[in-house]
């Protein structure tokens, strides 16, 4: 639970929303051999801070977005990402890119977006800055 003192400052992950949407990214699947008409869209929100080793958070994210082709991660309430955590996040994003899954970070603060760009996350994922 996020209300315990030992969890202070750690990232909080919302429940995932999964839905099938018409594919905007028709790509051939090696198993099917023809373009998919639908993508499984997964939406989840990160909030708080991501610091240290975020593997537990990423594992939870994986479980909640299992089967999704398009991973949309809202960063509206994400306050901070430290350098160590960003490296692990980069590896996670590049792995999904290699699996032909689209990762999007939306509603990101300008500083988080700039940091993701410096780290190299934007090479493998789309980062959309919030407009407020």
Question: What is the pLDDT averaged over residues 5-31?
Answer: 50
For residue 99, what are the contacts with CB-CB under 8 A and spacing of at least 6? none
Residue 112 lies in a domain: yes
State the pTM of this model.
0.75
For residue 64, what are the contacts with CB-CB under 8 A and spacing of at least 6? 13, 15, 16, 42, 44
Residue 39 has pLDDT above 80, yes or no: no
The pLDDT of residue 67 is: 83
Reported as a pLDDT band with limits 50, 70 and 90, residue 65 is confident
Question: What is the pLDDT averaged over residues 22-28?
Answer: 50
Higher per-residue confidence, 96 vs 19: 96
Place of tokens 């905007």: 24
Question: What is the pLDDT averaged over residues 59-73?
Answer: 89
Place of tokens 């090696």: 30
Count of domains observed in the chain? 1
Place of tokens 């960003």: 86
Read off the tokens for 98: 């290699």
The pLDDT of residue 129 is: 97
Read off the tokens for 102: 């689209």
Residue 59 lies in a domain: yes
Residue 112 has pLDDT above 90, yes or no: yes
Reported as a pLDDT band with limits 50, 70 and 90, residue 2 is very low
Q: What is the mean pLDDT of the chain?
A: 80
Where residue 124 sits, what CATH number does that domain have?
A: 3.30.750.24
Q: Are 50 and 82 in contact (CB under 8 A)?
A: yes
| Full domain range(s) for residue 15 | 11-24+35-129
Residue 96 lies in a domain: yes
> What b-and-e string marks burial along 52-61, b requiring 16 or more CB atoms within 10 Å of the CB?
eebeebbeeb
Question: What is the pLDDT averaged over residues 58-69?
Answer: 88
Higher per-residue confidence, 4 vs 10: 10
Residue 2 lies in a domain: no
Question: What is the pLDDT averaged over residues 67-75?
Answer: 91
The pLDDT of residue 26 is: 47
> Residue 46 is inside which H or E element, if any?
strand 38-50
């Amino acid at each position: 639970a996020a209300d315990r003192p030992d969890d202070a400052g750690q990232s909080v992950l919302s429940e995932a929303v999964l839905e099938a949407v018409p594919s905007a990214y028709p790509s051939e699947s090696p198993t099917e051999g023809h373009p998919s008409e639908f993508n499984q869209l997964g939406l989840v929100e990160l909030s708080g801070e991501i610091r240290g080793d975020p593997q537990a958070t990423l594992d939870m994210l994986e479980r909640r977005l299992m089967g999704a082709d398009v991973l949309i991660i809202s960063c509206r309430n994400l306050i901070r990402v430290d350098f160590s955590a960003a490296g692990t996040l980069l590896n996670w994003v590049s792995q999904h890119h290699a699996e032909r899954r689209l990762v999007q970070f939306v509603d990101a603060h300008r500083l988080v977006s700039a940091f993701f760009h410096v780290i190299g996350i934007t090479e493998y994922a789309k980062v959309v800055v919030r407009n407020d």
